[in-house]
Amino acid sequence: MTDESFQDDVLHELGDDRLQEIAALIGTDAAGAQEVVGDSVSALDGELRQAASEPSSADEVRQAFEEVASAEPPLQGVAGFGGLVSGGLLAGVLGRLAKPAATAVAKRTGIPAATVSRAIELLVPVVLAVITKRAASRKTGAGGTAGGAGGLGDILGGPAK
């Protein structure tokens, strides 16, 4: 399933240290944190796809993905988070989508929304790094850009709305 591979990529990029940080934040073990991360990534993915399908935000989401897809060079792992150089617009979009995603995860898990929000704040730069790497990979590996009509689905996996 492509959604799982996106989640797997985020977990891999997150690393054990940050996973442990999230576990401590939400008061669970690594397995519990991994479940919350998966739920959070899925919720962010859903919110991003929803924003891409709404006329009021579709252009901004498309522009954010085009910006990330055309950035040179791509972010290099967790060490590249400092300035979020190539993800300015997308970082803003993800930041705005974090609250509704946190609310959804809090409802599913029973973890307080404020706690989930903090965990998602830690995930946003990781999600941004994974999206950036996937966009760069599609650009160089597929011989084209990821900014076309299927860019969102191509980068996140699965069909774009």
pTM of the predicted model as reported, rounded to 2 decimal places: 0.78
pLDDT at 151: 65
Q: Is residue 28 part of a domain?
A: yes
6 within domain boundaries: yes
Higher per-residue confidence, 58 vs 83: 58
Query: What is the rounded distance in angstroms from the CA atom of residue 98 to the CA atom of residue 121?
Result: 7
Residue 137 has pLDDT above 90, yes or no: no
H or E element, residue 130: helix 113-141
Mean pLDDT of the residues in the chain: 80
Mean pLDDT of all residues in 54-70: 86
pLDDT at position 81 is 45
* Residues 6 or more apart whose Cβ sits within 8 Å of residue 1: none
Whole-angstrom Cα distance, residue 151 to residue 157?
9
Tokens representing 110 are 């029973």
Q: Is residue 154 part of a domain?
A: no
Classify residue 142 by burial, with Cβ atoms within 10 Å: 0-12, 13-18, 19+: exposed
Q: How many domains does the chain have?
A: 1
| pLDDT, tens only, 4-47 | 588 999 999 999 999 999 999 999 999 999 999 999 999 999 99
pLDDT for res 123: 94
In a domain, 109, yes or no: yes
- Asked whether residue 61 is domain-assigned, the answer is yes
One-letter amino acid of 156: L
**73-119 per-position pLDDT tens digit:** 544 444 444 444 445 788 889 989 999 999 999 999 999 999 999 99
Asked whether residue 86 is domain-assigned, the answer is: yes
Placement of tokens 């993905």 in the chain: 65
Placement of tokens 């590249």 in the chain: 80
Dihedral angle sign, alpha carbons of residues 20, 15, 6, 120: positive
146 domain residue, yes or no: no
Q: How many CA atoms lie within 13 A of 40 on its CB side?
A: 32
Domain that holds residue 35: 2-139
**Residue 147, domain member (yes or no):** no
pLDDT of residue 150: 42
Prior bond of 73 cis (ω within 30°): yes
| CA atoms within 13 A of residue 34's CA, in its CB half-sphere | 12
Torsion of CA 66, 72, 78, 80, to 10 degrees: -120
**Statement: residue 141 has pLDDT above 90:** no
User: Does residue 147 surpass a pLDDT of 80?
Assistant: no
pLDDT of residue 158: 63
More confident residue, 96 or 161: 96
